[in-house]
Amino acid sequence: MILIKNIKIVGDKSLTNIYIANDKILDISEDDKKYPVDCIYDGKEMIVIPGLIDQHIHITGGGGEGGFNTKVPEISLSKLIEAGITTVVGLLGTDSETRSVENLVAKSLALTKEGIKTYSLTGSYAYPSPTITGSIKKDIIFIDQLIGVKIAVNDHRDSSLDYKELQRIGADARVAGMISGKSGHVTIHMGGGKFNFKLIDDALKHSNLPIGCFRPTHVNRELSLFEDALDFAKRGGYIDLTSGMGKDYLNDAYAYKKAKDKGVLEKITYSSDGYGSWSTYDDDGNLLDIGYTPVNTGIIAIKEIVKSGEKLKEAIKPFTINVAKALKLDREVGKIKKDYKANLLLLDENLDINTVISNGLFMMKDKKIVRKGTYE
């Protein structure tokens, strides 16, 4: 058993102690001698927040749009630890030819074994959706790691699907989620095209699918798309912002404030799009520049939101409990609570990550990584 002593749980002023048994929080108590323990860690009055949940990471690497030499490598465990991410959802992007859902599931299993619980999505930008079983439904129902499906719209790299095809994807994912007890959602890559939410709106208008079935992401890439996204959230849908993506006039703190003013904070989530490639194109669609995104943009965004005047307890919600609720994982992650997973970040006075605990294991201690991936 581990005792984390002399810490302040986010939002509380008084010092307390957290007891960890196996991978869960056994108890939270002011008594630091309540149970016999094997390990004591002095938190030195640091603030504790839940580990971040990032539902959009290209764990097998993104990119490849500028040729084979531009394929982004797989992510390493230490990069996730440094970013304070303790729960991950991996996915594919443009390339589902040299990469596969099988590879994605294998990487999910590897990261989970190394200490960070990792789920994934079937599908990719492409339609028909690449799967393992030949069926979106069967992938989600029968493969534990797969909790939803990915597709792309409003982008020159999408498959130009129509709203009826999007409906079928949504229907398959929803029913699969109901049968398996998973979120069964459709993560929709929103490109920078001219149609914004039209395809999603048409799919909802001409079907009985609930709005929560569709989860548009990258909605803060430009102002008009973000305005439409806020309206979508006002109607009850979840929207996912990409931390670190917004231009100067649409940075993370500003986007958060816009969502707060709209009254939809409980419907927004942030993710990093980590290890996915960013790219710029000319008017003819020719690639001008390409790179890849780090995974530490979440904790940076939280700092920016706090610096803008928000309380830390509120600022972390789109990175923790909101994501957990959207993914139907909120009974085990996203909070610091008895019987929840022991996924904890200890932050210093500058809100820098000092210590990371994932599934009851120390991954970083006093700003030093103490648990690395198999080949790191």
206 in a known ligand binding site:
no
User: Encoding tokens for residue 144?
Assistant: 């534990």
31 in a known ligand binding site:
no
304 in a known ligand binding site:
no
63 in a known ligand binding site:
yes
The answer to whether 62 and 276 have CB atoms below 8 angstroms apart is yes
184 in a known ligand binding site:
no
- CA dist., res. 352 & res. 30, Å (int): 25
Q: Which residues pair with 118 in a beta bridge?
A: 88
Helix then strand then coil, % of the chain, to nearest 5: 30, 30, 40
Backbone angles phi, psi at 186, to 5 degrees: -115, 110
64 in a known ligand binding site:
yes
The answer to whether 218 and 273 have CB atoms below 8 angstroms apart is yes
289 in a known ligand binding site:
no
56 in a known ligand binding site:
yes
The answer to whether 181 and 142 have CB atoms below 8 angstroms apart is no
Active-site choice (54, 172, 228, 273): 273
Q: How far is CA 157 from CA 50, 163, 293, in A?
A: 36, 17, 19
144 catalytically annotated: no
349 in a known ligand binding site:
no
Q: How far is CA 64 from CA 83, 93, 174, 227, 359, in A?
A: 24, 10, 31, 31, 33
150 in a known ligand binding site:
yes
291 in a known ligand binding site:
no
87 in a known ligand binding site:
no
- Please classify residue 59 by burial: count the beta carbons closer than 10 Å to its beta carbon, then call 0-12 exposed, 13-18 middle and 19+ buried: buried
Annotated binding residues, written as ranges, equal 56, 58, 63-65, 94, 125, 150, 157, 189, 218, 221, 273, 277
Residue numbers in the known binding site for Zn(2+) are 56, 58, 150, 189, 218, 273
Report the binding-site residues for substrate: 63-65, 94, 125, 157, 221, 277
Enzyme catalytic residues: 273
